[in-house]
A and B are shown apart, each in its own frame.
Chain A
Amino acid sequence: MATVGDPPDCGFEQYTADVYAWAYRLLGRHHDALDVVQEVFLRWDAQCARQRPGQPRGWLRRVTLNRAIDFKRQGRLQGGDAIEPRAPAVPSEPAIEPDRTDLRRDITAALDRLTEVQRNVLVAKVYDEMTFAGIAAELDLAVSTAKTHYLRAVRAMRDGLRRRWAEETYV
């Protein structure tokens, strides 16, 4: 039986895989992703102690992306974007390729410039492969609004990544 001071049990474990995947996608390191999972876990429990979010997955995606971008931003400020791992690598963790690290950094920086809802819609569509109808329901938007956010997010990302392909024929 739960007592005062016990962590609230709001079923975070059923979303942990998603939270980890979102964080890892942006950060590219197992231990960084775990740090973000921990922070999101604490925020989730704090939120649950007040009121459980109506759309848990949408709430978690938004908080996770924000935390991952903050994490990346802090790492950049501290010069922590180096390739070497901060903690011993987990067995079977794939090595981080420099190309991927650059791409991830550019994508994260471009995501940072999106609005919160644009970022949420884009990640839900591209990485979670949700439908516009599903995204709209999860974020409490009209379907046409979700599409508009998606299109604007894609265009903003394109502008953000344009520098990366400056030598190529990127329009």
Chain B
Amino acid sequence: MKCEDFDMLMADALGGELSSNDRPAFDAHLAECERCRADFESSRRTLEDLRTLPGSRRVAARREGDRLVIEDATSIGRGAPGEIGAITHPTSAKAGPAPMRRTIARFLASPMRYAAGLLIAFTAGYALHAGLTLADASRSTGTVAHVLQDSGTSFEGSLVRAYARNPGRSDLAKCLIAMSSARR
């Protein structure tokens, strides 16, 4: 038998799975090949060393809600407190509002984002209001100009008249009306 072929038998022997059929061939090669014999002996001794490492006590685990409780298996059923450790799932530990609510809460919790949100809302509101007023003003520009046609053409005069005629309008609309009147 070649040494390469002996490897499979050696793996079986080291793993405790050498069959009785393979035993004679294994023993024969071991007796005749000093290199394989040394290899086998040192490997066997290595495995003995590995097996000397003490194992752990036997434990058991059970879920208690979000916790994974680890117990000494020997104490189970004896009435003794056997818990030797517990793990809490971090997803559960952080559990609070639902994800969407958490996202909103996180957003609102940031002062800068809150301020930015307010500014955007205010600007948008103001722009919307100004736009509506401007549209309204542009519709009534003809009427206002007609009323003010004999009141002089200076910008300041037009502005004063625009204020007098339409006290409810926005400043921007009054300015635009006054400019239009003055240009005319």
List the interface of chain A (C-beta within 8 A of B): 3-7, 9, 12-14, 16-17, 20-21, 24-25, 28, 30-31, 33-34, 37-38, 41-42, 45, 90, 92, 94, 100, 103-104, 107, 122, 125-127, 131-132, 144, 147-148, 150-151, 154-155, 157-158, 161, 170-171
Contact = CB atoms under 8 A, between A and B. Distances in A.
Contacts of A92: 72
Interface in B2-23: 7-8, 10-12, 14-15, 17
Contacts of B56: 20-21, 24-25, 30, 33
Contacts of B49: 103, 107, 161
A157 B58 contact: no
Given A25-B53, A41-B68, A158-B43, A17 B17 contact: no
A6 B63 CA distance: 13
Nearest to A99: B52
Contacts of B47: 126, 154
Contacts of A20: 56, 59, 70
19 contacts: A3-B98, A5-B98, A6-B95, A7-B92, A16-B60, A17-B58, A20-B70, A21-B59, A25-B56, A28-B54, A30-B56, A41-B89, A45-B91, A126-B50, A127-B50, A131-B17, A148-B7, A157-B50, A171-B38
Interface in B37-58: 38-39, 41-43, 45-47, 49-56, 58
B62 interface: yes
A42 B66 CA distance: 12
Contacts, number: 124
Given A6-B92, A13-B63, A14-B61, 20 more contacts: A4-B98, A5-B91, A5-B95, A17-B60, A17-B61, A21-B58, A21-B59, A24-B55, A24-B56, A100-B54, A103-B52, A104-B53, A125-B15, A132-B17, A148-B11, A151-B43, A154-B43, A157-B46, A158-B43, A171-B38
